[in-house]
Chain A
Amino acid sequence: MRKLLLGLGLLLVGGTAAAQHHRDAKDAAFTATPAFGSDGTLWLVRANADRVVVVKSSDFGRSFSAPVAVTPEAMNLDWGPDARARIAVDPKGGLVVTFAIFQDKRFNGRAFSARSNDNGVSFTRPRPLTADTTSQRFESVAIDPAGRVFAAWLDKRNVARAVAAGRPYPGAALAYAWSDDGAAFGSTSIALDNTCECCRLGIAFAGPGRPVIAFRNIFEGSIRDHAVVTFKDATTPGPLRRVSVDDWKLEACPHHGPSLAIAPDGSYHVAWFTDGKARKGLFYARADSADSAFGPPRAVSSPGRQPARPYLLADGRALHLVWKEFDGIKAQVRWQASRDGGHGWSEARTVAETDDASDHPLLVAHAGRVYLSWLTKVQGYRLIPLEDQP
């Protein structure tokens, strides 16, 4: 009897707490990702608890339309710290949204895309990016200069195959697919195996049909450093180019992916977080072209301030870099700009701060102006023009 009572008591206590925490975890899907339409409409895709919605603003983020659902029913969204729903606007004004869910308790993901052809009034029912059901996470979508939709993600199909054959397989594979409209994607290809399995990707284009992906790779000896792959054409990934030898040996999940920008002069720019033997903290490096080696990494911040979540944007001749720091009380978004192709950078400035939880800082540009896009728990969503900063 005593045991039974004890069991019941535990059940009651545990049950209430678990229900409370379950709700908290779901509420924590907490991201907002922007894209500008050519007419200056700001589109924002938000992961809210267990659904994905799109809102729009015609006054640069001061007010927003009522949310339009992308997910037709509640879904178990991927709430990993480097995961987010994404949105892209194609040249025809169509909207493409991608997002991922957890399909089981082992954090296997399933990535989806949906499209709107009616200026965001409605979205097509989300369709998986790929037919394979093993696991896809950290999907990213971008429109190439010719208007085609490119998606890349971390895919675990080859892990499952290796395990079935009794072979080890560190990490995941870098997978990609193309689509003409973003509603449905063509066949999936694997660009390369054994990338780090839990970091966001950076995507840019070296030209029409030539995606470039920056990612955390697993090098010999479980070294998780960054690399870039430039496609020779739409279906031919070029050689892996290492961004930096940080020597971060880790058999774990950093949940810190890189950011990539390619300037109009063809130069490459990458910012990333590392905790390697060779260097620790947030770093930036540039390469003159698609074929040249990356120059020496520049430390962006001191490591004692938890510098993280870098985001790079090339807008015309200017390069912008933002990242997040923590000073012991407040999380701050710091900003640097370069007007000479990434050789020289302005002094870092704080452009926004908050004293509670916040999303990653993102950059978005329209009509020659660059904006910080940042969602925080206390202040809500903010679109902050960077050029107006003192």
Chain B
Amino acid sequence: MRLSILPVLLLSLASICGAEAAGPLPFERGSWEKLRASHAGQPTVVHFWSLTCGPCLVELPHWGKLVTDRRDLKLVLIAADPLPQEQERVSATLAAAGLANSESWSFTDRFYERLRYEIDPAWAGELPRTVMIDGDGKTTVLPGVADLAQVRAWLDARPKPNR
């Protein structure tokens, strides 16, 4: 009897926690606009990385530590592999870096020129790359491995929300 409710439970669990649990959100045409809209007015750091980028994999755990240290850091991770990757590997890599709970997206369209163009027409795809977005939408790009001291300083300079 208890077992018979299992499929129902599984189904409902899957639909409830699907987005969070199943791994990164699919980053497709139009996703950047949605992402920006959902963070509008909120200082946000977007970090682009990829499974095929050695320096990115070295850098990720430092972001994991920063997320723990700085509760005021709203971090979004985007796996920008030019070719779509296995979601489970993206998730496992982030989890190993201490980033399991951060918002995560993954490129799912091989037409990467278009995805990059929507993000920044001047971005030719080099990784890693970090974009710090102010509450008013102003962006600061940190190409290559980010100097996290600069990210901390940027966080320090953001107006703190009223408590």
| Given A9-B10, A14-B21, A304-B122; A252-B55 close (CB under 8 Å) | yes
Contacting residues, chain A, for B55 (C-beta < 8 A): 251-253
Quick check: A251 and B83 within 8 Å, CB to CB? no
- Flag whether B104 is at the interface (Cβ < 8 A): no
| Given A10-B21, A17-B22; A306-B127 close (CB under 8 Å) | no
Contact with B along A8-22 (1 / 0, CB 8 A): 111011100110011
Quick check: A304 and B121 within 8 Å, CB to CB? yes
Contact with B along A230-270 (1 / 0, CB 8 A): 00000000000000000001111111100000000000000
Contact with A along B98-138 (1 / 0, CB 8 A): 00000000001111111011000111111110000000000
| CB of B23 to closest CB in A, whole Å | 6
Quick check: A12 and B10 within 8 Å, CB to CB? yes
Q: Which of B30-38, B39-47, B85-93 contacts A (4 or more CB under 8 A)?
A: B85-93
Within the complex, which residue of B14, B113, B117, B122 is in contact with A13, where a contact is CB–CB below 8 Å?
Answer: B14
Contacting residues, chain B, for A254 (C-beta < 8 A): 126
- Flag whether B149 is at the interface (Cβ < 8 A): no
Within the complex, which residue of B9, B54, B84 is in contact with A24, where a contact is CB–CB below 8 Å?
Answer: B84
Quick check: A328 and B117 within 8 Å, CB to CB? yes
Chain B CB within 10 A, most for which of A21, A22, A255, A303: A21
CA distance A95 to B84 in the complex (A): 32
Quick check: A275 and B124 within 8 Å, CB to CB? yes
- Flag whether B153 is at the interface (Cβ < 8 A): no
Contacting residues, chain A, for B85 (C-beta < 8 A): 21, 25
| Given A8-B10, A251-B145, A305-B121; A80-B52 close (CB under 8 Å) | yes
| CB of A232 to closest CB in B, whole Å | 33
Contacting residues, chain B, for A308 (C-beta < 8 A): 124-125
- Flag whether A81 is at the interface (Cβ < 8 A): yes
Chain A contact residues, majority secondary structure: mixed
CA distance A8 to B123 in the complex (A): 40
Quick check: B83 and A328 within 8 Å, CB to CB? no
Task: Count A/B pairs, Cβ under 8 Å.
Answer: 127
Chain B CB within 10 A, most for which of A13, A30, A252, A377: A252
Within the complex, which residue of B17, B111, B144, B145 is in contact with A357, where a contact is CB–CB below 8 Å?
Answer: B111
| CB of A335 to closest CB in B, whole Å | 18
Contacting residues, chain B, for A357 (C-beta < 8 A): 109-112
Quick check: A21 and B126 within 8 Å, CB to CB? no
- Flag whether A331 is at the interface (Cβ < 8 A): yes
Contacting residues, chain A, for B123 (C-beta < 8 A): 306
- Flag whether B77 is at the interface (Cβ < 8 A): no
CA distance A251 to B56 in the complex (A): 9
CA distance A326 to B120 in the complex (A): 12
Residue in chain A with minimal CB distance to B106: A21
Quick check: A81 and B82 within 8 Å, CB to CB? yes
| CB of A383 to closest CB in B, whole Å | 22
Quick check: A253 and B53 within 8 Å, CB to CB? yes
Residue in chain B with minimal CB distance to A253: B53
Contact with B along A303-327 (1 / 0, CB 8 A): 1111010000000000000001010
Chain B CB within 10 A, most for which of A22, A198, A256: A22
CA distance A222 to B128 in the complex (A): 15
Contacting residues, chain B, for A253 (C-beta < 8 A): 52-55, 126-127
CA distance A331 to B117 in the complex (A): 11
- Flag whether B96 is at the interface (Cβ < 8 A): no
Contacting residues, chain A, for B89 (C-beta < 8 A): 105
Residue in chain B with minimal CB distance to A197: B54
Quick check: A250 and B91 within 8 Å, CB to CB? no
Quick check: A326 and B82 within 8 Å, CB to CB? no
| CB of A16 to closest CB in B, whole Å | 8
| Given A252-B128, A331-B113; A14-B53 close (CB under 8 Å) | no
Residue in chain B with minimal CB distance to A249: B144
Contacting residues, chain B, for A256 (C-beta < 8 A): 124-126
CA distance A197 to B53 in the complex (A): 10
Of residues 86 through 102 on chain A, the ones whose CB sits less than 8 Å from some CB of chain B are: none
| Given A5-B13, A252-B127, A253-B126; A107-B52 close (CB under 8 Å) | yes
| CB of A196 to closest CB in B, whole Å | 11
CA distance A275 to B125 in the complex (A): 10
Residue in chain B with minimal CB distance to A331: B113
Of residues 16 through 72 on chain A, the ones whose CB sits less than 8 Å from some CB of chain B are: 17-18, 21-22, 24-25, 28, 30
Quick check: B52 and A275 within 8 Å, CB to CB? no
- Flag whether A356 is at the interface (Cβ < 8 A): yes
List the interface of chain B (C-beta within 8 A of A). Answer: 6, 9-10, 13-14, 17-18, 21-23, 52-56, 82-89, 91, 108-114, 116-117, 121-128, 143-145
Closest 4 CB pairs of A and B: A9-B13, A357-B110, A28-B83, A18-B88
List the interface of chain A (C-beta within 8 A of B). Answer: 5-6, 8-10, 12-14, 17-18, 21-22, 24-25, 28, 30, 79-81, 105, 107, 197-198, 249-256, 273, 275, 280, 303-306, 308, 324, 326, 328, 331, 356-357, 377
| 8 CB-based A-B contacts, threshold 8 Å | A21-B84, A28-B84, A81-B83, A197-B54, A252-B53, A256-B125, A304-B122, A306-B117
